[in-house]
Structure 1
C-alpha cells in the first residue's frame, strides 16, 4: 500500500503498520480494570484534544464531544497532555505509536475503528538498494508480528 504526502512532492509512503487509538489515564484510574474502554465510559470525564492530532483522531474526538457530551480542553502537544493527565486534569485519546512504554501512565484499549497508517517516506527517485532492503526488513518485521498492536 502506498500513500503520497499532499504537501511534499515526489515522495512515496511504504506502509509499515496501522496504529490503534488508546485512552491515556493515570495508572490507578477505575477504567484500567476494563478490558476495553468505550466512548460512553468517558461520560463525566474531561478529554484533552488537539496537540497536532491527525485528522482521523480529531474527528473521533469531536464525535465523542458531541455525542457523549464530555468536557474538553485543548492541549498544545503530547508532552503537555501527559503533564495534564499526571495532574489529574483529564484523559486523552492517542495513537499507540506515541506510547513510550515508560510505565508512568495506563494506555487502555479503546473501542474505535480509527487507525492511523504509519510508514516510511522516501523520495520517488531514490533507487538505493540499501534503502529498499531496509524498508523491506521493516515491513517484514511488522508483518510477522502476529500480536503486534500499536
Structure 2
C-alpha cells in the first residue's frame, strides 16, 4: 500500500485515461488500518458484462499487504460497507425469474437473452463469507410505481 507525506488526506492519484462514465473504484480504510476493496473484474466474462461495474470479489489487506479476508463473487458491483459487528454488506446482482422480468417497467435485458434481467440484492456476509441476511429489491419495490 502507499501513502503521501505531502497531502493531508493521504494518497491522491488521478489517471485521466480511466475517468469516464461508469468507471468506479472503491476502497475503504477500516478502523483497524486494513484496506477493504473490490478486486478487478473476473478473468472469465460474467453474465451481462456490458452493464459494467462488476468485480471479481472483495479483499481485505493489512498494512503489510497480507490477505486478511476475501470474498470471491463476480456478481458484486458498485458498493460495499464493513459493519461494526465485523460483517460486510455488499451490493450484488441476481438473475430474476422470467415472470419477474416481464413485470418490470424498464430495466435492461440483452438481445441474446431478452427473458432474463438482473436485479439488485444487498447481502450481509459474516467473516466466514456466509450470507446472514439479504434484501432483494424486486421484493420491496412496486413494479407500477418504481419504473426503471
Q: TM-score by structure 1 length?
A: 0.21
Q: TM-score by structure 2 length?
A: 0.21
Which structure shows the higher helix fraction?
1
Structure possessing the higher relative contact order (Cα contacts under 8 Å, 6 or more residues apart): 1
